Structure 1
Amino acid sequence: MTATFPVPAWLVGCGNMAGAMVDGWRAGGADFTGVTVVRPSGTPVEGIRTITDYPDERPRFVMLGFKPQKLAEVAPGLAPHVGPETVLVSMLAGVTAATLRELFPNAGAIVRIMPNLPVAQVQGVTAIYSADDGFDEITALIASLGMIAVCRREEELGVIGAVASAGMAYVARFIEALGKGGKALGLRPEQAEQIAIQTLVGTGAYAAETAASMTEIALRVASPKGTTEQGLAVLDAPDGLQQLVDRTLAAAVRRGKELAEEAARRN
């Protein structure tokens, strides 16, 4: 799916996550004509006009791609340019739609998104939420980067972020642990990690191809009274993997709520 921007389009800031989205759009053959990156540093973004101040035009699309702590600094200068024709898209963690509406009262629609880094490979998961109408074009734009998860409630953004965005770090830790376990049992360190990574890639490809659930895949691998079943008994114990994951996700969601409270006080 080729990305189509409602133009004029402004990318205000282009940090790591916004940059990953740009990489994904570029990989998908997006046309960046009419797209402008606005960043104070003026550091160029390949293939996109990059300037240090807002151009003399009325944007139809504005994406906020800077650190949430910068919002109070950015909003006063940006708000006069955001009008009823503008869809404002924010990836600022913890900054609620209500806060954004206060800062940008004339925006036609306010949309919050929570992408993860594989959007750069067009394999991302992006949560999207809005209480407004008129952002179907934006949904299609985000969907060009992978899977989208439309939230019925704003609170779901934090949960999806914990599973998909922060979840990348948790999966990486598990793969690292799997590799270290192989090393402890005698494999060469670099070989152990490569095997662990390829096992993750292969499992994902198998699941996508067969549409099998994770439970089904585990059952297909595990022979009765075999080696896999013995390992699963450890992971499936009452104090095993699920309890650890539940605590991990709860900690991430809790911190997200704290950030939202901090952002509300700051702005």
Structure 2
Amino acid sequence: MLANKTIAFVGAGSMAEAIIAGLIAKEIVAPEQIIATNYQNAERLRSLKDTYGIQVSSDKQEIMLKADIVVLAMKPKQVDEGIDALKQYSSEKQLFISVLAGISTAYLSELLGHRAPVIRTMPNTSAKVGESATGMSAGEFATEADIALATALFEAVGTVTVVPEEKLDAVTGIAGSGPAYIYYLVEAMEQAAQQIGLEEQEGKELIIQTLLGAVKRLSSTSKSAQQLYKEVMSPGGTTEAGLKVLSELHFQEAMISCIKRATERSKELGEELSKVK
């Protein structure tokens, strides 16, 4: 489905790199099928070219004339300026895929000024290792074929969950930002490991395998997370003692607030741009 498609990335940050790396690692597309540009960081483009063998260019006209699929991966605050620089070279035959938090398909269609299909997605940086959890919604002018094409692209770097667009801010709060929450937790576990006498590498290996095991357990059972952690606990035991501290420090409440705030911020990003415009 993607064999003869040229994919242009407008924006070359961590999300764009994660998707590029995943596509190439799984051999879904050849490096020469990918072309990337960004606002002004030529050194960043050279790094991507050297690392992945992709095409890079600062010439927006060149990129748009080559592209079958345009992945909008600039910073959300740069979307107006970014699309303004390329829309004169764009076509309704191109598929536009956004990975921008908070930016609606309707807003992107308005910026483009024509009826090109727009798909809004929220992947995460685990795309780099083929394990993204991507939420996806179709804009007004996107067909089933467009959705299938976008799905094929993102299934190459993980799973795809198609949801109504009004739910994508929630997807951002849970999955888009989710890896960072896990890394933040792991950082605390690593610090604790050293404080209780483990060497840095010893602690890291134990933590990673513990996470892998827990994820595999969650994915292979119908039991809830609560049922699983209660299975580990025994009265007066170590797990009960540790979880009591987390409860006293309102760990779950903090996580819920964290995810809700990230979701709210995704909504705010779109609202802020609409007000500016």
TM-score grouping bracket, smaller chain normalisation:
0.7 to 0.9
Residue pair 1:95, 1:264 contacting (<8 A) in 2 also: no
TM-score by length of 1: 0.85
Matched, 1:131 2:139: yes
TM-score by length of 2: 0.83
Matched, 1:112 2:120: yes
2:117, 2:106 → 1: CA distance?
Answer: 12
Shift of 1:155: 3.2
- Structure 2 counterpart of 1:217: 228
1:63, 1:34 → 2: CA distance?
Answer: 13
When the two chains are superposed, the root-mean-square deviation of aligned CA atoms in Å is: 2.6
Cα deviation 1:125-148 (Å, max 9, x = unaligned): 111112333221111111111111
1:73, 1:230 → 2: CA distance?
Answer: 54
Shift of 1:234: 4.1
Question: Compared with structure 1, are the counterparts of its residues 212 and 26 closer, same or farther at alpha carbon in structure 2 (3 Å cutoff)?
Answer: farther
2:24, 2:14 → 1: CA distance?
Answer: 15
2:66, 2:156 → 1: CA distance?
Answer: 25
Map 1:1-267; keep pairs closer than 5 Å: 4=2, 7-32=5-30, 33-39=32-38, 41=42, 43=46, 45=49, 46-53=52-59, 54-55=61-62, 57=65, 59-132=67-140, 133-134=142-143, 135=146, 136-152=148-164, 154-210=165-221, 212-236=223-247, 240-267=250-277
1:95, 1:161 → 2: CA distance?
Answer: 11
**Counterpart residue type for residue 149 of structure 1:** T
Shift of 1:248: 1.1
Cα deviation 1:229-257 (Å, max 9, x = unaligned): 333344456x6322111111122122222
Residue pair 2:74, 2:82 contacting (<8 A) in 1 also: no
- Identity across matched positions, percent: 27
SS of the residue aligned with 1:149? Answer: strand
SS of the residue aligned with 2:17? Answer: helix
**Counterpart residue type for residue 69 of structure 1:** K
Residue pair 1:62, 1:88 contacting (<8 A) in 2 also: yes
1:6, 1:213 → 2: CA distance?
Answer: 44
SS of the residue aligned with 1:57? Answer: helix
- Unpaired runs of 5+ residues, structure 1, are none
2:128, 2:3 → 1: CA distance?
Answer: 17
Shift of 1:19: 0.8
Residue pair 1:88, 1:109 contacting (<8 A) in 2 also: yes
